[in-house]
Structure 1
């Protein structure tokens, strides 16, 4: 999974924001564990009363030292809850595409969202997996969100991609640019021309600041989700990092579809 931060956005450094959030989560986890442990012990009539914070912290510390394996488990559960809450609160922003930046079923029962960068090799490797999924699953909708965190060229590509979305040429441009190889200004302009976007319009899109707002929104959403690079996929209440492959995407879609089924 690609992890380098972007020099092309005014948002806070991508990696630093994620690290700060993880530190805050760890502190929150310790406090929550401390309070929960103290409350549980205080209710046990057979035990001496726990009357001070120092006593509670000592008990929790001793337990964690004896059972360190609970920390990764607790962090995973805490992260899943936090991410689920973020997705629920921002689902409209995450799943609503920019103009025509989507493929598959228009009103699909499951929405798969990809945060990606055209200069990301793992994103390129994921394209056949997504194409296969859309070809085999006629009920899934794929929404693409530009997250150009690698270079000026990937930022330029994202701008032209958003122009293509406005002209209902998104998927032809998306596939043409990936097929063009290394992302450069010339390959971007050639891919645009191959789908009917002339050079002048593509160059104007690269300079158009109105597309920056969409990209900055995607950066904020990715940070809120705890994404650490590209590609990052969102499927229902799940966040998948990296090129998880066709089987990984299919499994996530199936799991979310199963959750949505009414109980019998």
Structure 2
């Protein structure tokens, strides 16, 4: 990341020269130096592109602030949701499906994010969109028994690339639950109603797939934990600037 600063300085200088001089006055040697630098440090281009993508995503996510504010209670304070670290000062919400490939890829980073941020509440929104097994997993996870093993089941089911009904039961047993009892509890109509409510909420936020995250006023679609981290940093920084906040 330290290489971006000198590159930025070079590019700013280049723009300044372009603004002050006529095209025929451009210095070919200067352009050659920039090209040589980029060829010697190609990773700088990737770093800059990642930063630009995160900036653009955060700008787009911020545009949905009014919608997030409208549904804040349902997003962050629905008592039916699985919430990790419920007393945390800040909140990250994830919409996910246990059979979603991108959700599986990002799951270890989500777990890492939880460990790194003891001041953050993590709200898990079951958003099954990949068929019957996804529906079953969501319902099983939302049972009273399932919630007691929330993180363990999240890790187990997300790490299983061939997740099917048998695998759901196997993992339930592995974390110490009775699969038959959990499946019976999953038939509660209130759980189906909760999943319907989550789908309606996702639609109101314009979410078209999984995973998706909400951090403060930011809606971040896709498996981009980098943008989640950036949004969380902005939310925490803004909180520090509020009157009465510790400095």
Q: Which residue is equivalent to 2:204?
A: 224
Q: Distance in 2 between matches of 1:78 and 1:191?
A: 38
Contact 1:87 1:237 in 2 (8 A): yes
Aligned to 1:177, what secondary structure does the other structure show?
A: helix
Change (3 A) 1:142 1:100: same
How many residues of Structure 1 are paired with residues of Structure 2 in the alignment? 186
Name the stretch that deviates more: 191-200 or 213-222.
Answer: 191-200
Structure 1 match to 2:96: 116
2:98 and 2:238 mapped to 1: Cα distance? 32
User: Take 2:60 and 2:166, find their aligned partners in 1: how far apart are those partners?
Assistant: 45
Instruction: Name the Cα RMSD after superposition.
Output: 2.3
CA change 1:217–1:225 in 2 (3 A) is same
> Which of 105, 108, 125 is the matching residue for 1:125?
105
Task: State the Cα deviation string for residues 186-225 of structure 1 (Å, max 9, x = none).
Answer: 0111111111221211321443322111101110111111
Are 1:214 and 2:202 matched, yes or no? no
Q: Is the 8 A contact 2:145 2:177 kept in 1?
A: no
- Following superposition, the deviation at residue 77 of structure 1 comes to 7.8
Flag structure 2 segments of 5+ consecutive residues without an equivalent.
1-57
Which of 161, 173, 181 is residue 161 of structure 2 equivalent to?
A: 181
**8 Å CA contact retained: 1:99, 1:165:** no
Matched, 1:203 2:183: yes
Q: Confirm or deny that 1:256 pairs with 2:241.
A: no
Correspondence for 1:163 among 139, 143, 155: 143
For residues 169 and 133 of structure 2, the distance between their equivalents in structure 1, rounded to whole angstroms, comes to: 11
Q: Secondary structure at the match of 1:207?
A: coil
Q: RCO (CA 8 Å, sep 6+): is it higher in 1 or 2?
A: 1
* Distance apart, 1:86 and its partner CA: 1.8
Q: Are 2:135 and 1:140 equivalent residues in the alignment? A: no
Match of 1:240 in 2: 220
- Aligned partners of 1:147 and 1:218: how far apart in 2? 7
Q: CA deviation at 1:250?
A: 1.4
1:76-91 superposed matches below 5 A: 80-81=62-63, 83-91=64-72
